[in-house]
Amino acid sequence: MEYALLFPVLVAALLLFLAARIIVHRLYTHPLAAFPGPKLAAGTFLYEFYYDVVKNGLYIWEIERMHKKYGPIVRINPRELHIKDPYFYEEIHAGPSKKRARDPKYAVAFAAPYSLVGTISHEHHRLRRSFVNNFFSKRSVTNLTPIIHEKVDKLIQRFETAYANSAVLTLQLDFAALTADVITHYCYGWARGYLDNADSSRNNDLVDAVNGLMIMFHINRFFPFLSKVLLAAPPGLVRWLQPCMADLFDMKARLRQQAKDTLEKKNNMHEANLKGKGHIFDALTGPEVPDAEKTLDRLEDEGALLLGAGTETTARAIAVSIFHVMSNEEVGRKLLGELKTVLETPVSKASWLELEQLPYLTGVVNEGLRLSHGMTSRLGRISTKVPIPYKNWIIPAGTPISQSNYFVHMDKTLFPDPHKFDPERWVRAAKNGDNLGRFIVSFTKGSRQCLGMNLAYAEIFLTLAHVVRRFEFEPYETTVENICVYRDLGIGCPKKGLFDVKAKVKAIIRT
């Protein structure tokens, strides 16, 4: 009996010894051992796990507390440094002359390893991005203006119907219906018809899919195999356990079938693409694309990320702007007055290029982007071969470095009273020649900057201008608490539930 007990005791002792040895190495002989930060965070990932998984996305505030205690550079886990310095953001997210790899520990969180966002190396990312870069140039997006106008007109019709019926609008879903129809049209040549579906004002499977991914974001980081386990499970069980995750799998299954159908077509669209026709999916499957980049796994993942990224965050930025416009009479009055200089009547049309010349509207757009943040989670970058200097520190090559977008957008030295929605700060900056736009990092920066940035700007400018020129809104059971960042689940979420803006159309502007 004593021998039977001895074996598990020895195994336990060996495991404790190995764990202790790892922790001692991390604390005293690791290349990051000299960097400031709490010993518990340096010694084990359990510290981060507790705040982000157990407490559901609260590590961002513990990181903020660390910076207050230890300064601008902190070791936040055994392998990663976080730098809270908005002027250093562009060094972390550097341009093509300074090669940066993606942190693989964060790439897995998106459960799309074959997509651009899941691509680790600089060279591989550059290759994959080259297939679709031209589709997202400012010139290409400008040519898309008639399509965006068409979708905005449908959205306006939806709001007019809501006014007639005194209906409550869920603005995040209404704007997501628009952005989803635009991006599906651009990807495939046909819109999925969210704006034509009255039910999409209450739910949107693309938004549900993104929410499902975000709910699992930190869990995926620590347990990257779990999404594969769920994918292999019976669909009914997954829907019972996690409905939003089931929506994500359903969407990816549709995209996989779309990819399969496209690959099976005998006619290729290469010539059409060269003439500026065709669509994004045609470019991803063109004859110049290596066969290794046209697998069903790759096309499924890329399609999911394009649609998800092209829907939710842009819709959120518009919703944040509209919330503050309808909540602040002075902001609404100034914006409407400026819009009337370009849109003479409520049914007039203006181009993106015309609208981005309006200083106050630009301020509203920038404040909406700043306070919606894009991704709030850290998107670590790695200089694989060259050490990076920061002040008196030399960061070893191969070290993941990050800086949350939230900390840049809420920096009091750049944006006094940062929680305030203040378009005038951008008007003042423009008059003074200050490049404040450098610190809007919703799309990150550098060679991995969000591919769809120009499309997002076009949608935000065109939607905000034409909707505000046509309608007055009033909040419905929505306060700033419903749109503020309390949890970091990849994107910012409030204390309870998910991001949400409800409103009613107060009036239709006739003159």
On the question of pLDDT at 352 being above 50, the answer is yes
The model's confidence at residue 242, banded by pLDDT at 50, 70 and 90, is confident
User: How confident is the model at residue 283, as a pLDDT?
Assistant: 87
62-109 pLDDT, tens per residue? 999 999 999 999 999 999 999 999 999 999 999 988 999 999 988 888
The model's confidence at residue 6, banded by pLDDT at 50, 70 and 90, is confident
User: How confident is the model at residue 466, as a pLDDT?
Assistant: 98
Overall average pLDDT of the 157-178 stretch: 95
Q: HEC states along 41-88?
A: HHHCCHHHHHHHHHCCCCHHHHHHHHHHHHCCEEEEECCEEEECCHHH
Which of 106, 69, 67 shows the shortest CA–CA distance to 88?
Answer: 67
Distance CA 136, CA 452 (A): 6
User: How confident is the model at residue 442, as a pLDDT?
Assistant: 95
Distance CA 117, CA 98 (A): 18
The model's confidence at residue 140, banded by pLDDT at 50, 70 and 90, is very high
Beta-strand relationship, 169-170 and 487-489: unpaired
Q: HEC states along 363-411?
A: HHHHHHHHHHCCECCCCCEECCCCCEEECCEEECCCCEEECCHHHHHCC
User: How confident is the model at residue 204, as a pLDDT?
Assistant: 78
H/E stretch holding 474 reads strand 471-475
Compute φ and ψ for 376, nearest 5 degrees.
-95, -25
Burial of 496 (0-12, 13-18, 19+ CB in 10 A): exposed
User: How confident is the model at residue 210, as a pLDDT?
Assistant: 84
User: How confident is the model at residue 200, as a pLDDT?
Assistant: 62
Distance CA 283, CA 365 (A): 31
Pair 72, 36: CB distance under 8 Å: no
7-11, 36-40, 63-67, 359-363: which has the minimum mean pLDDT?
A: 7-11
User: How confident is the model at residue 275, as a pLDDT?
Assistant: 42
User: How confident is the model at residue 78, as a pLDDT?
Assistant: 96
167-181, 227-241, 298-312, 388-402: which has the minimum mean pLDDT?
A: 227-241
Instruction: Please state, rounded to an integer, the average pLDDT across all residues of the chain.
Output: 90
282-323 pLDDT, tens per residue? 888 888 899 899 899 999 899 888 888 889 899 999 999 999
On the question of pLDDT at 398 being above 80, the answer is yes
468-484 pLDDT, tens per residue? 999 999 999 999 999 99
H helical segments located in 216-309: 217-222, 226-232, 235-241, 243-264, 270-274, 280-284, 296-309
On the question of pLDDT at 235 being above 70, the answer is yes
The model's confidence at residue 497, banded by pLDDT at 50, 70 and 90, is confident
Pair 78, 114: CB distance under 8 Å: no
Tell me the sheet residues that pair with 393.
390
Overall average pLDDT of the 414-439 stretch: 95
User: How confident is the model at residue 261, as a pLDDT?
Assistant: 80
What region does 281 belong to: left with phi over 0, alpha with psi -120 to 50, or beta?
A: alpha
User: How confident is the model at residue 474, as a pLDDT?
Assistant: 96
On the question of pLDDT at 270 being above 80, the answer is no
On the question of pLDDT at 226 being above 90, the answer is no
22-31, 77-86, 196-205, 434-443: which has the minimum mean pLDDT?
A: 196-205
User: How confident is the model at residue 207, as a pLDDT?
Assistant: 84
Which of 448, 366, 450, 447 shows the shortest CA–CA distance to 408?
Answer: 366
Overall average pLDDT of the 392-416 stretch: 97
222-231, 368-377, 418-427: which has the minimum mean pLDDT?
A: 222-231
H/E stretch holding 432 reads helix 424-432
174-190 pLDDT, tens per residue? 999 999 999 999 888 87
Q: Which two tokens stand for residue 499?
A: 């991001």
On the question of pLDDT at 263 being above 80, the answer is no
Overall average pLDDT of the 433-451 stretch: 94
The more confident residue out of 19 and 39 is 39
Distance CA 325, CA 106 (A): 35
User: How confident is the model at residue 7, as a pLDDT?
Assistant: 67
DSSP code of 28? I
On the question of pLDDT at 272 being above 50, the answer is no
On the question of pLDDT at 267 being above 60, the answer is no
Pair 361, 354: CB distance under 8 Å: no
